[in-house]
């Protein structure tokens, strides 16, 4: 059987399964957990995952086909059900958990009944993630963890977290880390919200005070957490890259709609800026399509890092244009409180999206770090000088 016929058969299987689920569980009248549970059981949550773990061993490129059928029937975009769980955590669970644990974790993740967050960054280790200080010390059949994490999106709503902690301070910083998953209901965990520019609090800081984690919740070998974490960060960049909007939609769609609504603000200079922004958005959309084709073949390329970097900066540029187009109106906002509406709603949604866009060049890897990654790993440029290279973490000046 040729590759083309195999892909055609897989597409038919995915389409038939997706249509069957939405017919038997109509999205407008079915609860979200029931709908997404049926979606998972049919192998449609991650079509490229193994059968029984939310997949059907189909090409990853067919995920978009399944998701489109769900959306057209009135269902959600799946990743919005559990943003960090879908885009960042699921792949790591698949790679490092045994089938029993993966099955226990993936289904409630897929249904949205158990949200996930990421406990990586620290006040003294943001871009330099490997320099983190949170300690995990052996205690019988588990570990005692103490430390502080920060910029933890959705930690206040999450049941589970992925955690990177230092288990050996006597070796260089990248080699003394171990990767865990932790139940956020474990005694000793305190979550404190951090107010954002938008007025809302989706970020948090998390304090871990003598938190016990069973060794069964360790992913990868002791001391190899950096390897596991890099696989997670790769998934995060792929997820952010996959969010490149369709032609004329997303941030550039907002700009086009605003332009049409404010003809009194049209000037040749603003018109030229809008055309340039649209051309950049189109370039990124086409690069996104190329990245999806590459990913569907199981090849890891630099496209996801490129897309994340460029899309973050383009999003900021677009909303800066929108605020300038609005003129004095752009300085107004309807409410500034923890109860403020989501970025997509409200009479001053553009202003709120502008404020939210300031985070895009920080989250998922700062633009500076991504440029280093592309320069050193893709372009093979000389590495930056690192004074702490080869030095035990405990001996690094702070």
Half-sphere exposure of 82 (CA within 13 A, CB side): 28
272: annotated active-site residue: no
Rounded distance, CA 191 to CA 87, Å? 22
- Which of 80, 336, 312, 333 lies closest to 196, judged by CA? 336
Question: Are residues 277 and 314 in contact, defined by beta-carbon separation less than 8 angstroms?
Answer: yes
10 Å CB burial of residue 312 (0-12, 13-18, 19+) is buried
How many Å is the Cα radius of gyration of the chain? 22
Q: Catalytic residue, from 114, 122, 205, 236: name it.
A: 236
- Report the run of H or E that residue 190 belongs to, with start and end: strand 189-194
> CA-CA distances (angstroms) from residue 109 to 91, 99, 368?
12, 15, 32
Mind giving me the DSSP string for 129-168? GGG---EEEEETTEEEEEEEEE--TTGGG-SEEEEEEES-
Q: What are phi and psi of 136, to 5 degrees?
A: -120, 120
Query: Following CA atoms 96, 99, 100, 102 in sequence, which dihedral angle do they give, to the nearest 10 degrees?
Result: 50
Rounded distance, CA 230 to CA 127, Å? 13
Which sequence positions are flagged as catalytic? 236
């Amino acid at each position: 059987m040729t590759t083309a016929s195999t892909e055609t058969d897989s597409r038919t299987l995915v389409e038939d399964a997706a249509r069957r689920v939405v017919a038997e569980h109509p999205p407008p009248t079915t609860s979200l957990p029931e709908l997404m549970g049926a979606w998972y059981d049919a192998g449609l949550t991650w079509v490229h995952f193994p059968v029984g773990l939310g997949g059907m061993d189909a090409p990853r490129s067919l995920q978009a086909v399944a998701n489109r059928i769900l959306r057209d029937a009135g269902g959600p975009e799946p990743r919005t059900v559990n943003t960090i769980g879908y885009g960042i955590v699921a792949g790591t669970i698949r790679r490092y958990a045994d089938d029993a644990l993966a099955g226990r974790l993936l289904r409630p993740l897929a249904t949205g009944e158990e949200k996930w967050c990421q406990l990586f960054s620290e006040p003294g280790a943001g871009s330099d993630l490997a320099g983190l200080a949170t300690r995990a010390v052996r205690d019988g059949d588990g570990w005692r963890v103490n430390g502080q994490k920060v910029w933890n999106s959705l930690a206040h709503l999450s049941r589970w977290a992925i955690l990177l902690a230092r288990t050996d301070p006597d070796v260089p910083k990248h080699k003394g880390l171990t990767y865990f998953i932790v139940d956020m209901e474990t005694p000793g965990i305190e979550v404190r919200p951090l107010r954002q520019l938008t007025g809302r609090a989706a970020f948090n800081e998390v304090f871990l005070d003598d938190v016990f984690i069973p060794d069964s919740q360790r992913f990868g070998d002791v001391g190899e957490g950096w390897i596991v974490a890099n696989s997670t960060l790769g998934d995060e960049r792929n997820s952010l890259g996959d969010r490149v909007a369709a032609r004329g939609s997303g941030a550039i769609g907002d700009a086009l709609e605003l332009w049409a609504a404010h003809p009194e603000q049209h000037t040749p200079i603003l018109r030229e800026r809008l055309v340039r922004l649209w051309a950049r958005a189109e370039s990124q959309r086409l690069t996104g399509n190329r990245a999806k084709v590459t990913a569907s073949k199981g090849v890891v390329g630099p496209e996801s890092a490129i897309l994340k970097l460029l899309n973050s900066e383009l999003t900021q540029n677009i909303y800066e244009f929108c605020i300038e187009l609005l003129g004095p109106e752009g300085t107004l906002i309807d409410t500034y409180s923890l109860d403020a509406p989501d970025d997509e709603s409200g009479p001053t949604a553009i202003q709120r999206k502008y404020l939210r866009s300031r985070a895009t060049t920080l989250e998922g890897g700062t633009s500076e770090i991504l440029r280093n990654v592309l320069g050193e790993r893709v372009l093979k440029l000389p590495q930056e000088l690192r004074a702490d290279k080869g030095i035990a973490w405990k001996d690094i000046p702070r």
